[in-house]
Amino acid sequence: MRQALSALIDELRRLKATGVKTVTVSESALVAIHRAVGSWRQEGAGLAPAAVAGAVVPAPAAATSPARVAAPEPIAAPPRPPPAPAVMLPVVAAASLPPAPTVTLPEGEKAARWAALQQRVAADPVCRENVRPGKKVVLGVGALDAKIMFVGEAPGAEEEIAGEPFVGPAGQLLTKMISAMGLKREQVYIGNIMNWRPQLPTIDGREQVGNRPPTEAEMRYCLPYLRAQIEVVQPELLVALGSTAAQGLIGFGAFKALGEVRGRWRDFNGRPLMITYHPSYILRNPSNRSKRMIWEDLLQVMARAELPISDRQRGYFLDK
């Protein structure tokens, strides 16, 4: 439980770093947080009762201005939820994840190697245990001869249903970004650091609302599967979308803010790697300025991949 709460605080930190000032929390999520805090306190964590009140999620210690949460009325005295057992998650706690898998691919055609990898991931007991009933473990998708491989963070609600990365709102935006580059989604390869949707507590087994970034342990567990996909596809270029992907590829703690590392070429095991923002950043900040920042990174990717670039493309999102 401590881990889920730390993940929540990490996510608030991350949102704050990207400029998000307020976070709206549904009634059910507040109840889940309340219960989670309750069970954490029972575990002896001793969280201050103020944090349980629900009106304001406690800001991380380092934060200067706390992330405000628009709580449902009444703000001052939220209703106490009925006593409930601690939320039980059908997950392998990240801290107790077994060592990362060793992935050995068969020799042969790319399609056969990829199919073997998919079978391996789908049968991985840790991946399976971290996926809720009825949801899917997710491997990458796309052209096995793609020049460009995009790497995202983790499946979300839509992806764990479809079993395919980037099919929800962020995915639809990524597909548009790819077509702005003059490519079709089917011409690139799209993967994620994670093969499962990082879980958050839900009440009584209900559907998960919202996402959390994966923990380092979760990422370390899944990374061999991403490396194996790179080994199969052999893309010329990699594009990391957002902080999680960047951390997975260039190292944990390699940067504090994504702005420090985006927009410059790096190397990932001999392949050029461009780091840019995650499409969900644009969904949260749909200004031309934000779009232009990502677009400039993608123009560099296009140039390096020797894709044609028209004057029109060069000028996208320059208007204020």
Q: Which residues bind ligand URA (CB under 6 A)?
A: 152-156, 159, 165-166, 168, 170-171, 192
Nearer to ligand URA, 78 or 171 (CB): 171
User: Rounded to a whole number, what is the largest CA-CA distance in the chain?
Assistant: 64
Nearer to ligand URA, 153 or 218 (CB): 153
Distance in Å, CB of 158 to ligand URA, minimum: 7
Nearer to ligand URA, 168 or 201 (CB): 168
Q: 3-class SS at 232?
A: helix
On whether the CB atoms of residues 291 and 298 are closer than 8 A, the answer is no
On whether the CB atoms of residues 33 and 8 are closer than 8 A, the answer is yes
**In the bound complex, which residue of the shown chain has the CB atom lying closest to ligand URA?**
152
Q: Which amino acid is at 20?
A: V
Distance in Å, CB of 281 to ligand URA, minimum: 11
Angle at 150 between CA 164 and CA 116, to 5 degrees: 55
- Which class for 192: exposed (0-12), middle (13-18), buried (19 or more C-beta within 10 A)? buried
Nearer to ligand URA, 39 or 195 (CB): 195
Nearer to ligand URA, 170 or 177 (CB): 170
Nearer to ligand URA, 33 or 141 (CB): 141
The C-alpha atoms of residue 52 and residue 31 are separated, in whole angstroms, by 10
H-helix or E-strand containing 36? Answer: helix 27-42
Distance in Å, CB of 22 to ligand URA, minimum: 22
Nearer to ligand URA, 195 or 300 (CB): 195
Tokens of 296: 């400039």
Distance in Å, CB of 174 to ligand URA, minimum: 8
Give the CA dihedral 237, 240, 245, 250, nearest 10 degrees. Answer: 60
Nearer to ligand URA, 8 or 139 (CB): 139
Distance in Å, CB of 140 to ligand URA, minimum: 9
Q: How many residues does the chain have?
A: 320
Distance in Å, CB of 191 to ligand URA, minimum: 9
Nearer to ligand URA, 142 or 168 (CB): 168
22 bridge partner residues: 68
Total Cβ atoms within 10 A of residue 79: 12
Distance in Å, CB of 78 to ligand URA, minimum: 31
Total Cβ atoms within 10 A of residue 8: 21
The C-alpha atoms of residue 154 and residue 166 are separated, in whole angstroms, by 9
**Range list of β-strands (E), 92-185:** 141-142, 148-152
Distance in Å, CB of 114 to ligand URA, minimum: 17
Range 289-299 burial, b when 16+ CB lie within 10 A, else e:
ebbbbbbebbb
Distance in Å, CB of 198 to ligand URA, minimum: 11
